[in-house]
Amino acid sequence: MEFLSNLALGFSVALTPANLVFAFVGAMIGTLIGVLPGIGPIATIAMLLPLTFHLEPTAGLIMLAGIFYGAQYGGSTTAILINLPGETSSVVTTLDGHQMARNGRAGAALAAAALASFLAGCVSTALIATLAPPLARVGQSFGAPEYFSLMVLGLIAAVVLAHGSVLKAIAMIVLGLLLGLIGTDGNTGGQRFTFGLNELADGIDVATLAIGLFGISEIMANLTQRESSREPVVQKITRLWPTGEEFRRGWPAALRGTALGAVLGVLPGGGATLSAFAAYALEKRVSDRPGMFGRGAIEGVAAPEAANNAGAQSSFIPMLTLGLPGNPVMALMIGALMIHGIQPGPQIMTERPQMFWGMVASMWIGNLMLVIINLPLIGMWVQLLKVPYRFLYLAVLLFCAIGVYTVSNSPAAVVMAAIFGVAGFVFQRLSCEPAPLILGFVLGPLMEENLRRALRVSGGDPMIFVNRPISLGLLIVALVLLLIVALPAIRSGREQAFQE
Amino acid sequence: MTEASGFPMTRPWRRLIHRDVLSGLLFIALAGLGLWLSRDYPVGTALRMGTGYVPRLLCWILLGLGAVIALRGFMAPGAERSTLPIGLAAVRPVILVFVALVVFGVSLERLGLVISILLLVGIGALAGRNLRPAETVLAAVVLVALAWGVFIAGLGLTIPVWPEW
């Protein structure tokens, strides 16, 4: 019954007029940036992060969360109608979704994507509500050594599940940890890597870093490429409703996608994109008509769209219960909590139950809103796609610039974001993923603090991490993960999985 | 990146521009910078860590990782056919977007929101492929109105709108 009373508390918070408005605003902005290629949820959330300082923390989190899952809905529209992923998590949706549109089934594809996402949203909201309390209880029993090992495991797992070279990803984590240390050392008061600049004394803000690495470098990368023609499939979307046959094939696929997405979302490094790819691969394998994939199979739309939404939402679980961010968006959410002086960790659920459960309930409400925003208003979003990129990037650039300025009301932040933009572009060209860097950046100060505390307890003996059973277990899992990727046989299998 | 973007190089030297070699060297350079900057930070002991303990530890790890990454890239099959990962096509957009942002940041407090946006849009438009003057003016007008509406009227941010004399 704890479950029901928790949800009741959540709905009483989420259904207040102000919070409903913020959930709606978040879902709208999310859909908007989801539809538009060239701007993703990471940069958008980073831009809006400073503004949430003026809001009540619950309202701010509700809005930011809405942007994240709203983008999963919006991304599918672009993927289906113009064969361009609005978000990376809808890349696979282009394969069958756009084919369906070409076969005159655009309406059915859009409906399948929205309904599958809604199903996934409902299931993963329930999952968060059931899984979070026990996980938080586990987290509360952790001491400093366990926390340190947990963060090591989280970072390693994030690297193993991400694509690309593991060594480079670990180097990016270390770089992120170092960037996170810039500023005044909380323990000794000494300045680190500040070049004597006052602007760096408080460290780099996570929003500045994220806007540079994900927003500005993306603009640079897009301008370097030739502008691709984006012609929407023009024919009228006549029937939105899928046929009986499409329903019969679609809903089990959506269920499988939801299950897969929910599991992968909880793992560090998982989340929306990985879930969508994995769900598509799974559907192809279990299908009785694999030949139809790539030619407009509705399973190829329903499963990945369910999976990316489930993955996006269930990635909140480790963030909310353990303070462990699994992807850059969750790292920003931790930033949002810290703006309000809320220490992320298992105590959130007991100390601020209204905030926690209000956010969970708002996710379900937000998903319901998104179905409404997406299906009847589809014509409006299609109109938006006609805005050419040469207008769009100027708007994105401006919003990035103003967003960064409002982080600390200082011109220095804008200059820093510009520098991180160039850095992000160079990293992208060198195939160094920026996501691990952000995770390291957020966890850096926390890891140092826990390392210090653990070593103080043990009198400077590093063996404390191995002598405590839970800590040892976590480290062994991390080591096993690393060994698995290092084995050549599994490495080639992993590459194959990402190619699919 | 095609041959046109790289400069002529003999095959063995091409190994040096493999993306892993370049990333490794970048990590080594950053680690070196970190070690140099933190040369005077007190390290302390594991029990009483000084300001420099964790940063220097991380820099050494980064240095090692960078070396391994560079070496593996150098030995990678096909590395002798590497081309420069960043071509000349990138120079213009990257530099102009960078300049546009820096100019915006520096001018915002002195020249106000309107002029800063005009500067940002003007420089930013040059970064695009084919500049269309009339469209850029239109974009600038729309963006000034939008930014004023959202940030000044809507959110009430305290950013000066006009130059402060």
Do A177 and B58 count as a contact with CB atoms less than 8 A apart? yes
pLDDT along chain A (500 residues), means of 10: 83 92 93 84 87 86 92 87 80 88 86 92 89 88 90 86 81 94 84 84 89 91 71 59 84 93 83 85 87 88 93 90 88 89 86 90 92 81 79 89 86 93 94 90 89 88 90 92 73 55
DSSP SS3 for A490: helix
Do B159 and A405 count as a contact with CB atoms less than 8 A apart? yes
How far is residue A467's CA from residue A145's CA, in Å, rounded to a whole number? Answer: 10
Do A430 and B23 count as a contact with CB atoms less than 8 A apart? yes
Q: How many residues does chain A have?
A: 500
- Least CB-CB distance to B85: which of A171, A398, A429? A429
Mean pLDDT lowest among A341-350, A487-496, B97-106, B114-123: A487-496
Do B129 and A223 count as a contact with CB atoms less than 8 A apart? yes
DSSP codes joined into one string, A334-392: HHHHHHTTPPPSTHHHHH-HHHHHHHHHHHHHHHHHHHHHHTTTHHHHHHHTTS-HHHH
Closest residue, chain A, to B124 (C-alpha): A394
Do A175 and B27 count as a contact with CB atoms less than 8 A apart? yes
- Least CB-CB distance to A171: which of B62, B130, B155? B62
Do B90 and A224 count as a contact with CB atoms less than 8 A apart? yes
- Give this complex's ipTM: 0.89
pLDDT at B3 over 50: no
Q: Is A453:A144 a contact under the CB 8 Å cutoff?
A: yes
User: Most A CBs within 10 Å: which of B18, B63, B94, as the mutation test of the A interface?
Assistant: B94
Do A430 and B85 count as a contact with CB atoms less than 8 A apart? yes
Residue A347, judged by CB atoms within 10 A of its CB (0-12, 13-18, 19+), counts as middle
Q: Is B117:B137 a contact under the CB 8 Å cutoff?
A: no
pLDDT number for residue A440: 92
Q: Is A210:A43 a contact under the CB 8 Å cutoff?
A: yes
> 């919006």: which residue's tokens?
A74
Question: At CA B6, angle to CA B3 and CA B10, rounded to 5?
Answer: 85
Do A394 and B159 count as a contact with CB atoms less than 8 A apart? no
pLDDT at B4 over 50: no
Q: Which amino acid is at A135?
A: L
Do B65 and A171 count as a contact with CB atoms less than 8 A apart? yes
Number of CB pairs, chain A paired with chain B, less than 8 A apart: 180
Which residues in chain A are contacts of B41 at CB distance < 8 A? 190, 192
How many CB atoms neighbour CB A476 within 10 A? Answer: 13
The answer for A239, left when phi > 0, alpha when psi is -120 to 50, beta otherwise, is beta
How far is residue A329's CA from residue A327's CA, in Å, rounded to a whole number? Answer: 6
Do B46 and A224 count as a contact with CB atoms less than 8 A apart? no
Closest residue, chain B, to A168 (C-alpha): B69
Pairing state between β A191-192 and A183-184: antiparallel
Residue A214, judged by CB atoms within 10 A of its CB (0-12, 13-18, 19+), counts as buried
Which residues in chain B are contacts of A456 at CB distance < 8 A? 47
How many CB atoms neighbour CB A487 within 10 A? Answer: 11
Which residues in chain A are contacts of B30 at CB distance < 8 A? 175, 178
How far is residue A27's CA from residue A312's CA, in Å, rounded to a whole number? Answer: 14
How many CB atoms neighbour CB A225 within 10 A? Answer: 12
Do B42 and A51 count as a contact with CB atoms less than 8 A apart? no
Two structure tokens written together for B83: 């081309």
Do B105 and A418 count as a contact with CB atoms less than 8 A apart? yes
- Closest CA of chain B from A389, distance in Å: 10
DSSP run (H or E) holding A181:
helix A166-181
pTM to 2 decimal places? 0.86
Burial pattern A20-50, b for ≥16 Cβ within 10 A else e, equals bebbbbbbbbbbbbbbbbbbbbbbbbbbbbb
Closest residue, chain B, to A396 (C-alpha): B143
Q: Average model confidence (pLDDT) for chain B?
A: 85
Question: Closest Cα partner for A71 from A115, A96, A39?
Answer: A39
Do A393 and B128 count as a contact with CB atoms less than 8 A apart? yes
- Closest CA of chain B from A323, distance in Å: 21
Which residues in chain B are contacts of A219 at CB distance < 8 A? 93, 97
Closest residue, chain A, to B108 (C-alpha): A411
Q: Is A114:A127 a contact under the CB 8 Å cutoff?
A: no
- Closest CA of chain A from B9, distance in Å: 20
Q: Is A78:A32 a contact under the CB 8 Å cutoff?
A: no
How far is residue A231's CA from residue A167's CA, in Å, rounded to a whole number? Answer: 40
Do B97 and A220 count as a contact with CB atoms less than 8 A apart? yes
- Closest CA of chain B from A417, distance in Å: 8
- Least CB-CB distance to A459: which of B42, B47, B155? B47
Mean pLDDT in residue range B24-48: 90
Do B27 and A429 count as a contact with CB atoms less than 8 A apart? no
Helices (H), ranges, chain B: 11-14, 19-37, 53-75, 91-127, 133-147
Do B101 and A401 count as a contact with CB atoms less than 8 A apart? yes
- Closest CA of chain A from B132, distance in Å: 10
- Least CB-CB distance to A397: which of B68, B124, B130? B124
- Least CB-CB distance to A401: which of B45, B54, B104? B104
Two structure tokens written together for B136: 């850029």
- Could you give the C-alpha distances from A329 to A34, A39, A214, A443, in angstroms and in order? 14, 14, 11, 14
